[in-house]
Amino acid sequence: MFTLARSARAGLIFLLVIFFLLAGGQTGHRREGVEALGGGIPAQPGAADGKSLAFTGDDGQGSFSSGGEDGPRLPVSQDGEGGVEADPEEPGSEDAFLVEVSLAAQRVRVFHYGQLLREMVASTGLPDKPTPTGHFRIQNRGEWFFSKKYQQGGKYWVSFKDWGVYLFHSVPMDARQQIIPEEAAKLGRPASHGCVRLSVEDARWFYETIPTGTPVHIH
């Protein structure tokens, strides 16, 4: 009887050991599976290398940017609606200079980090040849041009639209680079074919001072 009871206990212990081994293995598999899934939450693209997308909108409308230096760059909303890219012509915080042209006042104002640096008397386009309005950026430039069509030229030209079509430049000159007096006398009122005329002194300052890429706002 004693031998039979001992054999029964040994058999029971063996069964318990097998049961716990099997249960532990299944728990381990389940744990590994959860860890592989990130705790049951689908992994974000690029999460393993710190480049997961970060929600940065202050208005709760969906403005996104990447958390990594070379991660995906999604458009940043300017109006809180998401997916609307900023106008590349509009001034940004990185712009040191800003050029403002007032058609009503016939003035050009140059700002440097928000402070008025210089104000200049100008002549913009006539009603039938208006100066374009809106946001632009400074393009190419040169020291002299002459239009055979209009028999007029100008010094210190700086383009703001269409790469040499719409310019800031001096008051008109003839082919010998002499100021045309009757045209110079119009400075301060609309007189051009769409360009923005300045005095020779102001045109030279503008040419030498305003960097390429500077935003221009004409209104």
What pLDDT digit, counting tens, does each position of 179-219 carry? 999 999 999 999 999 999 999 999 999 999 999 999 999 99
**Contact yes or no for 196/105 (Cβ under 8 A):** no
DSSP string, the chain: -HHHHHHHHHHHHHHHHHHHHHHHHHHHHHHHHHHHTTTTSPPPTTGGGT--EEE--SSSS--EEESSTTS--PPPPSSSSSS-PPPTTS--TT-SEEEEEETTTTEEEEEETTEEEEEEE-B-B-TTSPPP-EEEE---EEEEEEETTTTEEEEEEEEEETTTTEEEEESPB-TTS-B-HHHHTTTTS--BSSSEEE-HHHHHHHHHHSPTT-EEEE-
Residues above pLDDT 90, as percent of the chain = 57
Per-residue model confidence (pLDDT) at position 17:
62
User: Greater confidence, 216 or 19?
Assistant: 216
Instruction: Decide if pLDDT at 42 tops 70.
Output: no
Kindly report which listed range (55-59, 113-117, 187-191) carries the lowest average pLDDT score: 55-59
Residue 135 bears catalytic tag: no
**Residue 126: pLDDT over 50:** yes
- The one catalytic residue among 135, 169, 193, 219: 169
**Position 134 pLDDT exceeds 90:** yes
> Average of pLDDT values for 78-107?
71
Task: Please identify which of the residues 29, 112, 135, 195 carries the catalytic annotation.
Answer: 195
pLDDT, mean over the chain: 75
Interval 120-139 mean pLDDT:
98
Token pair in block for residue 133 = 């309005």
219 a catalytic residue? no
